[in-house]
Amino acid sequence: MRTQQVECIVFRRKEDIEFLLLKRIPEKGAFWQPPCGGVEQDDKSLIDACYREIEEEVGIGKEQITNVIEDVYQFTMNNDYLTGEESTPLTEYVFGFEVKPDVEVKLDANIYVEHEEFQWVSFDKAIEMLKWDDNKEAFKALNKILTEKES
pLDDT at 70 over 70: yes
DSSP structure string for the chain: ---EEEEEEEEEESSSEEEEEEEEPGGGT--EE-SEEEPPTT-SSHHHHHHHHHHHHH---GGGEEEEEEEEEEEEEEE-TTT--EEEEEEEEEEEEEE-TTPPP-GGG-SS--EEEEEEE-HHHHHHHB--HHHHHHHHHHHHHHHHHH-
* Confidence (pLDDT) at 149: 73
- pTM of the shown model: 0.93
Q: What are the two backbone dihedrals, phi and then psi, of residue 73, each rounded to the nearest 5 degrees?
A: -170, 160
- Mean residue pLDDT of the chain comes to 92
Average the pLDDT over each of 59-63, 76-80, 123-127 and give the range with the smallest value.
76-80
Model pLDDT for residues 19-30, shown as the tens digit of each residue: 999 999 999 899
* Confidence (pLDDT) at 1: 67
CATH number of 4-150: 3.90.79.10
